[in-house]
A and B are shown apart, each in its own frame.
Chain A
Amino acid sequence: MNVSVPFTAEQAKKLKAGDVVNISGVIYTARDAAHKRMLEEYDKTGKFPFDIYNQIVYYAGPAPAKPNEVIGSVGPTTSYRMDVYSPVLLRFGLRGMIGKGIRNNEVIQAMKQYTGVYFGATGGAGALLAKHIESVEVIAYEDLGAEAIRKLVVKDFPVIVIIDSEGNNLYETEPIKYRK
């Protein structure tokens, strides 16, 4: 299944937990420090450093690019550290989040209320994922180094829908099937 950006609520509603999805288009990297700053900036100026409506945020901080490479390894970081920030961003129209690991109930409730999708990329496969990135541009908080916000243009970026906009959650439904 293919997803392109802008990622609308109509598209988001069609995705179900367990769907294997390839994302193409623009996504933005942001980790803990960038999320904290984004919300501080919003409090001060009423604006985010990029328009988050119908966009997808990737919880990632890449390794530096070698000469002649677009980017270094760039796999997902653990998502729960962003849980405190995500409900606000979902309320302002953020549509997708890519990361790894569990989300708390507040995030899942906000995803249901505002139609958001949580995608999982394979943690520890950063060299493989880097091959799906066509261009990179730092658009905010350059002083944060690896944690700066980067605009990535991706092609067929491989993810799985972990939690859909109805709150179905693979971390709840799958391990139990293999438990002995």
Chain B
Amino acid sequence: MREISVELITDTIAQMCIEANCCLNEDVHTALERAKQKESSPIGKEILCQLTENADIALQKNMPICQDTGMAIVFLEIGQEVHITGGLLEDAVNEGVRKGYEKGYLRKSVVEDPFLRVNTKDNTPAILYTKIVAGDNIDITVAPKGFGSENMSRVYMLKPSDGIEGAKKAILETVEQAGANPCPPMVVGVGCGGSFEYSAYLAKKALLRPIGSHSDKKHIREMEQELLQKMNDTGIGPQGLGGNTTVLGVNIESYATHIAGMPIAINISCHVTRHCHKVI
């Protein structure tokens, strides 16, 4: 049994909230640079240049890439040989978010009730997913999610007869209808299969995968490649002002599902697609 203190969890999460918000991930940087070369719209190209310049300023000043520093989504994979000491895990995570958002000058964007809408002023609570795995480490992913793009996300409960073509149609339709709203170029995470809520969880997990990585499954990999092309052929372009850079990446995760169903969830993200990963 390895002991891990709640203080270590709190401090790690606090640091990760700041890092995820202020440092644009390398895969996004590379994808933006590549898109700049290929973009045929002059305004589109200018916008892509603004986004890389913006990321450079954010990194240099250690300030958030975007003012929407998101709601903190935290994934913990906890080794079953770990004993957490000194307090409760959930409190430790929320304390980490509280500290990180304060120390990092990140925006507090969480309200305590969807209808009463009073700001909690410290960006808590986080949304926490835990999984018990083998080993004696804790694998932490912090993925603060902005809501301009979150609002454009959807779950479809398709029929098995809709097939892979039906799924592609639903995914493409979601991106087309999102249009200019989620700050394109977007990153698209898709969850296929599972149940109603699990498909959405998979879509969120898909956004954590690097841009340009592909599924091991041939039919899913082909789907990712075909959809990326079709999304960029919509003409939506950077900020919805026209061009051929609408989407930087399409990541699809799939899972077993029920004989009667085919849930498809699409989680739209902006170019920032904040996420930070550490093992303690």
Binding site for B on A (CB under 8 A): 33, 60-66, 69, 72-75, 77-78, 80, 100-102, 120, 122-128, 130-131, 144-147, 160, 162, 170-171, 174-180
Contacts and interface: CB of A to CB of B under 8 A. Distances in A.
A73 B65 CA distance: 7
A150 to B, nearest CB: 12
Nearest to A144: B119
Contacts of B51: 122, 124-125
B82 interface: no
Contact of B242 (A62, A100, A174): A174
Contacts of B129: none
Q: Which 7 pairs from chain A and chain B are nearest by CB?
A: A174-B242, A179-B235, A123-B183, A178-B235, A101-B181, A180-B233, A175-B235
Contact of A63 (B107, B148, B182): B107
B117 A33 contact: yes
Contact of B57 (A124, A127, A175): A127
B180 A101 contact: yes
B10 interface: no
Contacts of A171: 179-180, 240-241
A146 B107 contact: yes
B119 A120 contact: no
Interface string B29-62: 0000000000011010001001101110110010
Nearest to A77: B148
B53 A128 contact: yes
A115 B271 CA distance: 34
A32 B243 CA distance: 30
Given A63-B105, A78-B151, A178-B41, A127 B65 contact: yes
B69 interface: yes
A102 B234 CA distance: 16
A16 B150 CA distance: 32
B102 to A, nearest CB: 9
Contact of A127 (B61, B180, B181): B61
B155 interface: no
Contacts of A144: 119
Contacts of B249: none
A131 B50 CA distance: 13
Interface in B193-236: 233-236
Chain A CB within 10 Å, residue with most, of B41, B119, B242: B242
